[in-house]
Amino acid sequence: MNTLLLLLIAANVLVSFKAFNDLLFFRKYEFHIGSIRSGEHIRMISSAFLHADLGHLFFNMFTLFMFAPVVTAYLDSLSFLTIYFGSLVFGSLLTLMMHKDDYSYRAVGASGAVTGVLYSAILLEPGMSLYLFFIPIPIPAYLFGIGYLLYSIYGMKAKNDNIGHTAHFGGAVGGFLITLIKYPQVLSQEPFMVGLLLVPIVILFFMARSGKI
């Protein structure tokens, strides 16, 4: 397994477990609009290594574990890191932009970075499938990716947890754009998949413009 992937997972697990048992640590480094707008910009990065609970941590790390090897099979380690952290930053910036006037808004999770890696993997290997524990048949990866973002729309509308659902979309945009820059031949090789993966992003855009989210 890629050492870089293991290091990223280990960092997420160690920081998250520290925060599970230390509320002051959690509050100091979570994504919080009021604190970020007062100058604590480190939260835009540090919050991506915190998670709301064990299930949230497991889901993000499982998704990263499943899809990161696909990206590293096509791109070098530096490109993979660019996608991971670039998507993280895209996710944080979109969250800040969409919630800039909600000073009490809080969120945590590697969702932006992981969704960027997910989108990148689907673009690079659109025919792959995966097995989920509760579904005994293979699921096309692109359906998983699109469903992941549609679930995020629900989470953004419901606002009933501390998960950074908005970051999913910023991360998807980051992973999408960076992959096209790093591996532009996907535009000619998989034009249908490129268009299909744009669908949930376009849905979010119009929902945001119409004030429905």
CA distance 185 to 183: 6
Report pTM.
Answer: 0.87
CA distance 74 to 82: 14
Return the H-helix or E-strand segment holding 135.
strand 135-140
DSSP state of 110: S
CA distance 164 to 181: 26
- Cβ pair 22, 15 in contact under 8 A: no
List the beta bridge partners of residue 211.
Answer: none
For every residue of 74-93, DSSP letters joined together read HS-HHHHHHHHHHHHHHHHH
- At residue 113, the pLDDT reads 96
- Residue 20 CB neighbour total at 10 angstroms: 16
CA distance 172 to 91: 8
- At residue 213, the pLDDT reads 65
Give, in order, the Cα–Cα distances in Å from 13 to each of 36, 43, 108.
Answer: 24, 17, 13
- Cβ pair 60, 51 in contact under 8 A: yes
| pLDDT in 10s for each residue of the chain, 213 residues | 588 999 999 999 999 999 999 999 999 999 999 999 999 999 999 999 999 899 999 989 988 998 999 999 999 999 999 999 999 999 999 999 988 999 999 889 998 999 999 889 989 998 887 776 666 778 888 887 788 777 777 776 666 665 656 788 889 889 999 999 999 999 898 888 888 888 877 877 787 677 666
DSSP state of 49: G
- At residue 162, the pLDDT reads 56
